[in-house]
């Protein structure tokens, strides 16, 4: 029990439960399957990018460029296909192209951070600007609404549906299952493979990891490679759910995703981020941002509330760290 | 007895500086050896070559009879050589079980982690040396001794043939050291060799079968038994006879400079009472964890005491609440750890020298007075001469001994009437140590009251005129140095320790 | 023997080291200036262009100064833009009220003065809040200020309901849109702030302690420095600078918005890093930062004249930041090698003697 209380995931789960309960008392509609479907649908994008961001944070770095990477990967791919009227391109090729672009862009980050040993925050804030500027200055600034068929079909693929008390149909989006599967795979990779444990090791102590015989540079290489692949996938998800390719529309909102990871236990000095914690962090933030309207809180309150939640999360983490001393 | 490691006529240089200069060294199966030498004598270079982190320029390296021109860290581990560094290189965000099995798991080339199997094997390893602890605990929850045991278990888990321990006893209490020695004899009985690396003449000498003294990259003395006096050992380590005069205190003022009354910090130390006179050097010693470190910090306001009071020059000032409060009464403090607590390594030597007194260099207009600043920098840096120093180079360009001199100088600039020195010569070469001791004695002669906190008994003997022995947070004994000997003092500390154990 | 020659040595050496970073940046600045003048002489070398650059440079200048100060502590203040907008909005409420009531004469000036005071008070309060959290919790300042950025911006959105506030008294708008001695008033403010910051950094106890705390927090504590106070002051100073520039924006644009100028955070980091500020803390130089600011402004104006849009600028800034980091890295590496080789020569001599 004592260990459970010390556990960060447990703390976040309790906060979720309490928030949900309070929301439910104000508006009973919030505690419903329909609302669960809608929250999960709204979480798909941030959940995907959070996975990439978490991986980098566990390895001891930080990534501010993942949205820019995802946007470039998706927009370049879609624009290429649309310009050449290749709308019938199979979905897996679209994903493959976006993944490759994502990997290349994140590996540029890796080069500066690992090979030149530069501070990750400043490097990735620089590459964020570089990628976004590149996309808008050299690739295009227009909204593309005629999307490849595969993506259009994916946008309306549901696995289950429910009707809310007000008669509106809510669907469980197929991509929710995909993201869940990605989380499970990531959990397995992080906890049951040598590579996954090595990431935690270099995040905790680079010198000690080196002495243990871990190839730091290669591990980081793989971390950024996977993060790039996930960001590419996330970019395609974003285009799919938006039903349009909008250049760089997410860039600048990295904070919300980082906040989810930090709430889930990443970002502390102990490098203890976990897949479950990140998932809970994403859910908590989606829960709040999605339901403030149902709570009849004006939407312009949202940003301030998010700020407060992040600060509370940081304070909880720091008191945990203090009690450990 | 076959040699596990055999190093012959080895040379290694960095940027043209010889670190190893024809080093010869060998260690056999089941042997406990102590490798001893001053900082910078080449000990760590030798260790890093054996463990595969450095290459060597010339000479030969045989491990288990096989010659290596070049050895990688992995090859070295595969030959059964394990190094336990001072920081243990553990991962705080992982459990004991995972830490113990980490290296084996990395070497096994298996891409997957079988937690059940790992835990079982970790438990077996812990059982082998009778280390009783929950293997699911995270390493950040452990104390230093437990971490060291985990590191030893990690070495054993890989069937280590030779375990090299870097300064293994510096952070351990006497009981923990004893426990470590039990484990080491256990290892010896299994045929595992242990190499202690140390720059201090300490407990490890007692358990070692033999020792090797290094100086300037050479093996200058090797001994299979222990018939060597400390003085001779120092001679081999430094290459010179150093005889230090004892400190001779003449009381000039009957009124105490500082009186500490019933000073208590809950759970750390209790009821500390003593008086310090002008020009006196008072020693406080005891084993690790006896509360000496906390007492030192609370006399300087870093860890404020919970009750008691302090009288300085007949003025009752209560508890020293914070560093500013201590500074107000001209108390100076030289910390134990130069690198993290003592100096600003990136800043210039000149700026470091005035960092304590910067507040007093503000002119009438609220800005720093350039003239005063320049003058103070010069004055401070001439207080203690530091050879070959350039004032505008960063402090990190200095050697360890010179860094410590700079720390002393920056405190002297503040004109302290009381100086608290926490392990003033830890990690300093024997030569520089002597120099620093003379400086401290000189300061006392000028009328500063000095408190030296140290576990280095020879240091206490040469520096102080009185010494207190602390145990479990209490002062248990007071001695006049003139009326005691080093052996008696050491025996006294050990006695207090065993007495406490009997009653416990 | 060595003593008498020492003061001279100090001066000479300090000049030499001072010059290295400064000279490097000076070369870059001049090169950019020459390049732009050659490419677009009729547009670049005009009084108009320099006046308009003068207005533009002020905003980035203030943010960069604030970022530089926080960077010396080893932290980052990502909430500057939030503070700037929030204090601008609160002042805007006062000024808009004055506008609606058509105040004039002494009443008008009282309310303008009140608006300034309130804005600065908000800046101080926000800075204090940042400083309190950063100095009391062991959380990375970057995460804290990311959180407070959201909070401050969020409060701004709540106050404005997400819309822009505009229409302020003309007397107030004067200071953001006019020149004094043919130099834009905001630029005068920036020059003042640069000098003030330079003095604070080099000539005050606080500045000395700031650099020391940035290079080693614990050792500063042991040296009796006022760590928490210094941290707190730094974030407050950053808050005040942000608030002042919030007022300038208000005056220049005649409107207050909660999401104005979010790009400045990044540009401020770029400007500070390009200006030889050590992102790990402990070192910064106002003169270098000023040069880097001028360089960026030349580039920015030059890009516009070359018809390279805002997006190209973002791209270019990203490239520049990575280049600046890389060159700093290479210079540091060379310095290290040099100092090591000096060291080895010395010890070699020593060992020869022995």
Contact A193 B113 (CB under 8 A): yes
* Coil, helix or strand at residue B22: strand
Tell whether B320 lies on the interface with C, counting CB pairs under 8 A.
no
- Mean pLDDT, 10 residues at a time, chain B of 504 residues: 84 80 88 82 86 88 88 86 87 91 85 90 88 87 85 88 85 77 87 84 74 84 71 72 71 85 90 91 85 90 90 90 89 85 89 89 86 89 82 82 87 90 80 84 90 85 89 86 78 60 44
| Test mutation, A264, A303, A317, chain C, max C CBs within 10 A | A303
* Pick from C155, C273, C311: CB nearest A122: C273
Do residues A160 and A34 lie in contact, with contact meaning Cβ atoms separated by under 8 Å? no
Q: Is the ipTM of this complex over 0.95?
A: no
Do A193 and B85 make contact, defined as CB atoms within 8 angstroms?
A: no
Q: Exposure pattern of A99-126 as b/e (b: 16+ CB <10 Å)?
A: bebbbebbebbbebbbeeebbbbbbbbb
**b/e sequence A230-258, b meaning 16+ C-beta within 10 Å:** bbbbbbbbbbbbbebbbbbbbbbebbbbb
Determine the 3-state secondary structure of B346 from DSSP. Answer: coil
Smallest CA–CA distance, residue B145 to chain A, in Å, is 16
Distance CA C331, CA B333 (A): 37
Tokens of B371: 């003239």
In sequence order, what are the residues at sequence separation of 6 or more whose Cβ sits closer than 8 angstroms to the Cβ of residue B101? B118, B121, B122, B154, B157
- Across C265-287, average pLDDT: 89
Per-residue pLDDT in tens (0 to 9) along chain A, 325 residues: 445 555 677 878 888 888 888 888 888 878 888 888 888 888 999 999 999 999 999 998 889 999 999 999 999 999 999 999 888 889 999 999 999 999 999 999 999 999 998 889 889 999 999 999 999 999 988 899 888 999 999 988 888 888 777 778 888 899 999 999 999 999 999 999 999 999 999 988 898 898 888 999 999 999 999 999 999 999 999 999 989 998 888 887 888 888 888 877 765 555 567 899 899 989 988 888 888 877 777 778 888 888 888 888 777 766 654 443 3
Q: Are residues B403 and B425 in the same domain?
A: no
Q: Is residue B205 part of a domain?
A: yes
DSSP C195-264: HHHHHHHHHSHHHHHHHHHHH-HHHHHHTT--HHHHHHHHHHHHHHHHHHHHHHHHHHHSEE-TTTTTTH
Q: Is residue B53 part of a domain?
A: yes
Q: Work out the minimum CA distance from B445 to partner chain C, whole angstroms.
A: 24
Share the mean pLDDT of chain C.
85
With an 8 Å Cβ cutoff, are A130 and C318 in contact? Answer: yes
User: Which of A211, A216, A269, A274 best probes binding to B when mutated, by most B CB atoms within 10 angstroms?
Assistant: A211
Q: Decide if pLDDT at C16 tops 60.
A: no
User: Which of B300, B344, B368 lies closest to C212 in CB terms?
Assistant: B344
What are the φ/ψ torsions at residue A62 (nearest 5 degrees)? -150, 150
Examine residue B245 and state whether it is found in any structural domain, yes or no. no
Give C338's contacts (C-beta < 8 A, 6+ positions apart). Answer: none
Q: Which of A8, A67, A69, A122 to mutate to test the interface with C (most CBs of C within 10 A)?
A: A122
- Contacts A138 to C, Cβ<8 Å: 315
Q: Is the residue at B339 inside a domain?
A: no
Coil, helix or strand at residue A325:
coil
- Residue C331: its chain A contacts at CB < 8 A? none
Task: Examine the domain organization and report whether B504 and B373 are in the same domain.
Answer: no
Q: Are residues B405 and B423 in the same domain?
A: no
Smallest Cα distance from B350 to chain C, Å: 9
B82 lies in the same domain as B176:
yes
3-state secondary structure B78-133: HCCEEEECCCCCCCCCCEHHHHHHHHHHHHCCCCECCHHHHHHHHHHHHHHCCCCC
Which of B102, B116, B147 is best to mutate for the A interface (most A CBs within 10 A)?
B102
Q: Which chain C positions have a beta carbon within 8 Å of B332's beta carbon?
A: none
Measured in angstroms, the CA of C73 and the nearest CA of chain B are apart by 13
The alpha carbon of residue C1 is apart from the nearest alpha carbon of chain B, in Å, by 11
Mean pLDDT of C87-109: 87
Distance from CA of A13 to the nearest CA of B (A): 21
A209 contacts in chain B (CB < 8 Å): 91
Residue keyed to tokens 């000036």: C109
Beta carbons within 8 Å of A88's beta carbon, 6+ residues apart: A148, A149
Instruction: Look at B342 and C347 and tell me if their CB atoms are within 8 Å.
Output: no
- The DSSP result for C265-311, as a single string, is HHHHHHHHHHTT--TTSS---HHHHHHHHHHHHHHHHHHHHTT--HH
Q: Is A125 helix (H, G, I), strand (E, B) or coil?
A: helix
Residue B318 DSSP SS3: strand
The answer to whether the Cβ–Cβ distance between B343 and C219 falls below 8 Å is yes
Q: Which of B376, B394, B415 is a domain's end point?
A: B415
Q: Which residues of C touch B345 (CB under 8 A)?
A: 215-216
Task: Determine phi and psi for B162, rounding to 5 degrees.
Answer: -135, 120
Query: Percentage of residues in chain C with pLDDT exceeding 90?
Result: 40
Given a cut of 80, whether residue C195 has pLDDT beyond it is yes
CA-based radius of gyration for chain C: 23
3-class SS of residue B476: strand
Q: What is the CATH classification number for the domain harbouring B286?
A: 3.40.50.300
Closest CB from B15, B347, B359 relative to C212: B347
For chain B, the domain total comes to 3
User: How many residues are there in chain B?
Assistant: 504
**Confidence at residue C41, expressed as pLDDT on a 0 to 100 scale:** 82
> What's the residue count for chain A?
325
Q: What are the Cα distances from residue B431, in Å, to B123, B330, B339, C194?
A: 47, 30, 20, 49
Q: Choose, out of B215, B217, B358, the residue to mutate when testing the contact with C (most C CBs < 10 Å).
A: B358
Kindly state whether residues B174 and B62 are assigned to the same domain.
yes
Both tokens assigned to B158: 């890989």
Query: How many C-beta atoms lie closer than 10 Å to residue C182's C-beta?
Result: 9
Residue range C160-181: average pLDDT? 85
Supply the range of the domain harboring residue B411.
Answer: 345-415
Angstrom distance (rounded) from CA B230 to CA B211: 13
Chain A CB contacts of B98 under 8 Å are 197
A/B interface, count of CB pairs below 8 Å? 65
In a domain, B248, yes or no: no
Q: Burial of A262 by CB count in 10 Å (0-12 exposed, 13-18 middle, 19+ buried)?
A: buried
Which residues in chain A are contacts of C157 at CB distance < 8 A? 300-301, 303-304
* Closest-CA distance of chain A to residue C231, Å: 18
Q: What is the pLDDT of residue A232?
A: 96
According to DSSP, the residues that pair with B219 across neighbouring strands are B214
Q: What is the residue whose two structure tokens read 């052996």?
A: B487
- Using an 8 Å CB-CB cutoff, list chain C residues near A142: none
Q: Measured between CA atoms, how close is A198 to chain B, in angstroms?
A: 9
Identify whether residues B410 and B425 lie together within a single domain: no
Neighbours of C123 (CB within 10 A): 30
Looking at the partner chain, which of B85, B111, B140 has a beta carbon nearest the beta carbon of A194? B111
Task: Pull the structure tokens for residue A267.
Answer: 């970002």
**DSSP secondary structure letter of residue A113:** I
Residue with tokens 């010890």: C347
**pLDDT tens-digit map of B427-440:** 777 677 888 888 89
- Chain B residue at shortest CA distance from A324: B141
Facing residue for A303 by CB, picked from C133, C138, C153: C153
CA distance B3 to B63: 8
Mark whether B189 and B127 lie in a shared domain.
Answer: yes
| Cα B179 from chain centre | 20
* Chain C nearest C-alpha distance from A320 (Å): 11
Q: Which residues of A touch C76 (CB under 8 A)?
A: 121
Residue B146 shares a structural domain with residue B201: yes
Indicate yes or no: CB of B91 within 8 angstroms of CB of A208. yes
Residues of A in contact with B103 (CB under 8 A): 212-213
Asked if C178 and C55 count as a contact pair (C-beta separation under 8 A), the reply is no
Q: Which pLDDT score, from 0 to 100, does residue C204 have?
A: 92
Quick one: DSSP state of residue B138? B
Q: Which residue of C has its CA nearest to A118?
A: C325
- Residue A319's pLDDT is 60
CA angle, corner A269, sides to A266 and A275, nearest 5? 20
Residue A18 has what pLDDT? 87
B89 and A324 within 8 Å at the Cβ level: the answer is no
Residue C4: pLDDT band with limits 50, 70, 90: very low
Residue B450's pLDDT is: 93
> Which one of C311, C313, C324, C336 makes the best mutation probe of the A interface by having the most chain A beta carbons within 10 Å?
C311
Minimal C-alpha gap between A315 and chain B (Å): 20
Alpha-carbon A12 to chain mean position: 17
Do B449 and B365 lie in a common domain?
no
Catalogue the long-range contacts made by C110-118 (C-beta closer than 8 Å, 24 or more residues apart): C112/C169, C112/C171, C112/C172, C115/C91, C115/C172, C115/C247, C116/C91, C116/C247, C118/C87, C118/C90, C118/C91, C118/C94
CB contact under 8 A, A212 and B89: yes
- Contact: B83, A192; criterion CB under 8 Å: no
Q: Which of B89, B110, B140 sits opposite A211 (nearest CB)?
A: B89
Those residues whose C-beta lies under 8 Å from the C-beta of residue B79, and which sit 6 or more positions away, are B63, B64, B66, B161
Mean pLDDT of C194-198: 95
Q: Are B334 and B411 in contact (CB under 8 A)?
A: yes
How far is CA B93 from its chain centroid?
26
Whether residue B261 is found in the same domain as residue B213? no
Q: Which chains touch C (3 or more CB pairs under 8 A)?
A: A, B
Query: B82 pairs with which residues across the strands?
Result: B163
Residues B326 and B396 in one domain: no
CB-CB neighbours of B329 under 10 Å: 17
Neighboring chains of B (3 or more beta-carbon pairs < 8 A): A, C
Residue-wise DSSP of A231-288: HHHHHHHHHHHHTSB-TTSSTT-HHHHHHHHHHTTTTSTT----HHHHHHHHHHHHHH
Helix, coil or strand: residue B209: coil
Tell me, yes or no, whether B74 and B211 share the same domain. yes
Could you say which DSSP state residue B369 is in?
A: -
What is the domain partition of chain C in residue ranges?
A: 71-262, 263-325
Residue from the list B89, B93, B115 with its beta carbon closest to the beta carbon of A200: B93
């Amino acid at each position: 029990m004592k260990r459970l209380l010390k556990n960060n995931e447990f703390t976040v789960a309790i906060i979720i439960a309490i928030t949900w309960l309070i929301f439910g008392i104000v508006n009973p509609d919030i505690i419903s399957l329909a609302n669960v479907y809608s929250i999960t649908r709204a979480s798909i994008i941030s959940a995907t990018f959070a996975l990439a961001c978490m991986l980098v944070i566990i390895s001891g770095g930080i990534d501010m460029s993942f949205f820019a990477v995802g946007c470039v990967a998706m927009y370049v791919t879609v624009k290429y296909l649309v310009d050449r009227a290749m709308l019938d391109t199979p979905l897996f090729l679209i994903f493959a192209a976006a993944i490759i672009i994502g990997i290349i862009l994140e590996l540029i980050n890796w080069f500066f951070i690992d090979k030149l040993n530069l501070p990750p925050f400043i490097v990735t804030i620089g590459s964020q600007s570089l990628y976004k500027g590149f996309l808008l200055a050299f690739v295009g600034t227009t909204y593309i609404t005629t999307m490849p068929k595969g993506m259009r079909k994916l946008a309306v693929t549901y696995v289950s549906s429910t009707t809310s008390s007000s008669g509106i149909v809510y669907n469980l989006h197929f991509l929710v299952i995909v993201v869940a599967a990605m989380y499970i795979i990531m959990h397995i990779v992080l906890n049951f493979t040598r590579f996954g444990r090595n990431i935690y090791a270099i995040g905790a102590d680079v010198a000690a990891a080196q002495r243990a015989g871990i190839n730091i540079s290669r591990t980081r290489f793989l971390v950024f490679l996977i993060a790039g692949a996930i960001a590419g996938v996330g970019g395609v998800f974003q285009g799919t759910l938006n039903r349009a390719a909008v250049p760089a529309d997410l860039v600048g909102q990295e904070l919300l995703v980082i906040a989810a990871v930090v709430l889930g236990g990443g970002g502390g000095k102990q490098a203890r981020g976990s897949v479950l914690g990140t998932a809970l962090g994403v859910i908590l933030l989606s829960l709040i941002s999605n339901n403030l309207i149902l709570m009849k809180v004006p939407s312009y309150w949202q940003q301030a509330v998010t700020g407060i939640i992040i600060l509370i999360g940081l304070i909880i983490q720091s008191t945990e760290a203090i009690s450990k001393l | 007895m076959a040699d596990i490691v055999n190093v012959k006529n080895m040379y290694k240089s960095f940027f043209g500086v010889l670190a190893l200069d024809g080093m010869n060294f060998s260690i056999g199966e089941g042997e406990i050896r102590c490798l001893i030498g001053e900082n910078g004598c080449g000990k760590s270079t030798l260790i890093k070559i054996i463990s595969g982190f450095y290459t060597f320029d010339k000479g030969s390296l045989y491990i288990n009879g096989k010659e290596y021109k070049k050895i990688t860290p992995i090859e070295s581990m595969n030959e059964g050589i394990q190094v336990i560094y001072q920081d243990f290189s553990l991962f705080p965000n992982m459990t004991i079980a995972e830490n113990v099995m980490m290296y084996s798991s990395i070497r096994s080339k298996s891409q997957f982690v079988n937690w059940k199997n790992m835990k079982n094997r970790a438990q077996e390893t812990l059982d082998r040396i009778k280390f009783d602890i929950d293997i699911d605990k995270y390493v950040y929850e452990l104390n230093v001794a437990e971490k060291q045991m985990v590191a030893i278990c990690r070495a054993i888990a890989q069937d280590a043939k030779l375990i090299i321990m870097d300064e293994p006893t510096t952070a351990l209490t006497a009981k923990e050291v004893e426990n470590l020695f039990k484990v080491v004899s256990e290892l010896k009985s299994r045929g595992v060799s242990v190499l202690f690396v140390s720059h201090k003449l300490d407990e490890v000498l007692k358990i070692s079968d033999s020792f090797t003294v290094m100086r300037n990259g050479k093996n200058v003395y090797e001994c299979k038994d222990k018939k060597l006096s400390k003085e001779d050992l120092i001679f081999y380590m430094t290459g010179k006879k150093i005889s230090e005069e004892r400190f001779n205190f003449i009381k000039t003022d009957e009124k105490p400079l500082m009186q500490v009354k019933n000073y208590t910090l809950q759970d750390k130390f209790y009821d500390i009472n003593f008086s310090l006179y002008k020009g006196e050097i008072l020693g406080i010693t005891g084993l690790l964890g006896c509360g000496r470190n906390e007492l030192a910090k609370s006399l300087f306001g870093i860890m404020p005491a919970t009750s008691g009071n302090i009288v300085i020059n007949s003025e009752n000032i209560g508890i020293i609440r914070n560093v500013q409060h201590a500074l107000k009464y001209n108390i100076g403090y030289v910390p134990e750890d130069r690198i993290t607590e003592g100096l600003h390594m990136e800043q210039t030597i000149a700026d470091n020298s005035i960092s304590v007194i910067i507040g007093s260099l503000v002119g009438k207009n609220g800005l720093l007075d350039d003239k005063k600043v320049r003058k103070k920098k010069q004055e401070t840096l001439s207080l203690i001469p530091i050879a070959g120093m350039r004032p505008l180079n960063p402090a990190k360009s200095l050697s360890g001994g010179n860094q410590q001199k700079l720390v002393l100088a920056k405190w002297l600039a503040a004109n302290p009437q009381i100086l608290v020195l926490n392990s003033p010569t830890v990690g300093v070469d024997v030569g520089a140590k002597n120099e620093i001791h003379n400086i401290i004695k000189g300061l006392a002669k000028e009328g500063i009251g000095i408190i030296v906190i140290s576990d280095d008994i020879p240091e206490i003997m040469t520096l102080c005129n009185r010494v207190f022995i602390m145990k479990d947070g209490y002062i248990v004994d007071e001695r006049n140095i003139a009326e005691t000997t080093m052996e008696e003092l050491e025996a006294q500390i050990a006695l207090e320790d065993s007495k406490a154990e009997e009653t416990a | 023997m060595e003593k008498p020659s020492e003061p001279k040595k100090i001066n000479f050496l300090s000049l030499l080291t001072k010059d290295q970073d400064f000279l490097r940046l000076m070369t870059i600045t001049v090169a950019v200036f020459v390049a732009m003048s050659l490419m677009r002489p009729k547009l670049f070398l005009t009084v108009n262009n320099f006046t308009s650059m003068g207005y533009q440079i002020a905003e980035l200048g203030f943010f960069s100064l604030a970022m530089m100060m926080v960077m010396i502590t080893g932290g980052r203040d990502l909430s500057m833009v939030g503070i700037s907008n929030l204090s601008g909005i609160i002042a805007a409420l006062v000024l808009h009220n004055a506008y609606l009531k058509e105040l004039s004469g002494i009443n008008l000036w009282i309310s303008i003065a009140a608006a300034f005071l309130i804005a600065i008070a908000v800046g101080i309060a926000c800075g204090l809040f940042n400083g309190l959290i950063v100095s009391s919790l062991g959380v990375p300042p970057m995460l804290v200020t990311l959180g407070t950025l959201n909070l401050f911006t969020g409060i701004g959105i709540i106050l404005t309901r997400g819309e822009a506030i505009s229409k302020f008294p003309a007397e107030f708008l004067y200071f953001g849109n006019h020149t004094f001695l043919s130099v834009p008033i905001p630029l005068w403010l920036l020059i003042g702030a640069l000098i003030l910051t330079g003095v604070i950094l080099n000539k005050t106890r606080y500045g000395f302690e700031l650099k020391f705390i940035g290079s080693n927090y614990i050792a500063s504590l042991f040296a009796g420095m006022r760590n928490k106070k210094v941290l707190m002051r730094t974030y407050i100073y950053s808050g005040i600078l942000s608030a002042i520039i919030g007022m300038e924006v208000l005056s220049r644009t005649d409107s207050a918005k909660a999401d104005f100028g979010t790009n400045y955070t990044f540009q401020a980091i770029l400007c500070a890093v390009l200006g030889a500020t050590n992102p790990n803390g402990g070192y910064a130089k106002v003169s270098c930062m000023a040069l880097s600011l001028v360089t960026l402004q030349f580039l920015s104006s030059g890009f516009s004249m070359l018809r390279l849009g805002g997006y190209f600028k973002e791209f270019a800034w990203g490239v520049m930041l990575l280049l600046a980091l890389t060159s700093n890295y290479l210079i540091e590496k060379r310095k290290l090698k040099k100092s090591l080789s000096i060291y080895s020569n010395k010890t070699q001599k020593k060992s020869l003697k022995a």
